[in-house]
Amino acid sequence: MNELLKNLTEVDGVSGDEKEVRLLIRDLIADHVDEWHVDSLGNLLATKKGTGATNMCVLVDAHMDEVGLMVTEIGSDGMLKFAPVGGFNPLALLGKVVQIGAKKITGVIGAKPIHLLSGSERDRVVQTDAMRIDIGAKSKEAAASKVTIGDRAAFITEYEELGKTALGKAFDNRAGCAALIELLRAKPFSFDLCAAFTVQEEVGLRGAQVAAYAVKPDAALVLESTPAYDLPNEEDASSNVALGKGPSIYVMDRGTIQDPRLVAHITRTAAARGIPYQLRQPGGGGTNTASIQRVLGGIPAATIAVPGRYAHTPTMMINLDDYANVVRLAEATLRDLTPELVNRKW
C-alpha cells in the first residue's frame, strides 16, 4: 500500500480551504527542507538548498486543492444549496456522499428516485443549481447549527489498490503533491529546489501565480494529474492519454505552449533513462504552468503529469507504475537540468 498516496488523498482540501492538506505536507517535508513558510494565500513554499554547483533556482509546483462544493444557502427545509468549486459534470454528483466544513458533517447530494421520475425527466440532466445537499436536518435552524454558508463540501472516498491500479479521490493533484514530496526527500540537486504546494488551482491557477512572483525561479516544472480518457471508444481521437503508458508530457493546452526546450529535455531524459512517456495530445485543459510562465520576465516551464481516469469526480484511478515513473522522470529531468538549457540564446 502506498501510504503517501493514501494519506494525501484521504484528507480534504477543496480550493481555498487547503489547510488539512497543507498541515499534512508540512509534517512530511519539514525534516527534508532547509526552510518552509506559508504565504498569505496559503501556498506552502519550501526550499531545499542545492549543492552550489549552479546558482539556479528551480520552482517545482504541485497544487494541493481539489474540486468540491461550497454551501451557498440554507433552505427553510434544512436542505443546502451549493455551488461547484472547480469544474463538474452534474452527472457526477447525484447520490454522492460528502463531508462539510470543519466539523465534517456528512451529507448526500439528493436525487429524486428513478421510481418517481416522469418519462421526460429521465432524459434530462439535472443541473447543479437544482440539486441540494441533505444533511438530515429538518429545519433551517437545525441545519445552521451544523454548517454555515461558505463551508466546503468534499467527497469521501477511501484509498484502495487493485493490483497496479490505485483508486481514490483527488489524485488531481495529490499525486503531484506526493511526487514533489519524494523529490524533496531525494539527495540535493545542483540548484536550489523551491517547492510550491499551491492553492486554488481549480478555480483559476491562482496560488501558482503568487508563488512564481515570490520565488522568481529560473525555470519551473509543474507536477500534475491529467485526465485519461482511454475507455473503449469507437473513434479514438480524443485529446488524451492512457493509464499504464507512462508519464504524460504536455506540449500545448488551453493556457500554454509549453517551453519547447524543456519539453525536448524531458523527452530526451526519458529516452536516455528508459522511462516510458506519452505526449499528451495538444488540446483543452490547463495547469499552473499557464500562470507561472507568464509572470515576471517570463519563466521557462513545462508539465509532467500522472494520467488519471475520472478526473473531477468523487473517484479517480491512476496506475502506480505511471506514478513511480513520474517521480523518476521528474527527478532525472531536474538532475540533468543545466543553466545552458534554461537560458534562451536564440
Binding site for Zn ion (CB under 5 A): 172-173
Closest among 165, 170, 246 to 7, alpha carbons compared: 170
Q: The C-alpha cell of 38 is what? A: 506559508
Q: The C-alpha cell of 283 is what? A: 488540446
Q: In the chain, what's the furthest Cα-to-Cα distance?
A: 70
Give the three-class secondary structure for 15.
coil
Using the minimum distance from each CB to Zn ion, give the nearer residue, 269 or 289: 289
Catalytic, 201? Answer yes
Task: Give the span between the Cα atoms of 162 and 110, in whole angstroms.
Answer: 30
3-state helix, strand, coil in the chain (%, to 5): 30, 25, 45
**Rounded to the nearest whole angstrom, what is the least distance from the CB of residue 86 to Zn ion in the complex?**
9
**Rounded to the nearest whole angstrom, what is the least distance from the CB of residue 71 to Zn ion in the complex?**
23
The single residue of 201, 202, 224, 331 carrying the catalytic annotation is 201
**Rounded to the nearest whole angstrom, what is the least distance from the CB of residue 316 to Zn ion in the complex?**
11
The separation between the first and the last C-alpha atoms of the chain, rounded to the nearest angstrom, is 47
CA separation, residue 155 to residues 53, 79, 94, 163 (Å): 45, 18, 12, 24
* Phi (first) and psi of residue 68, to 5 degrees: -170, -155
**Rounded to the nearest whole angstrom, what is the least distance from the CB of residue 273 to Zn ion in the complex?**
25
Give catalytic residue positions: 201
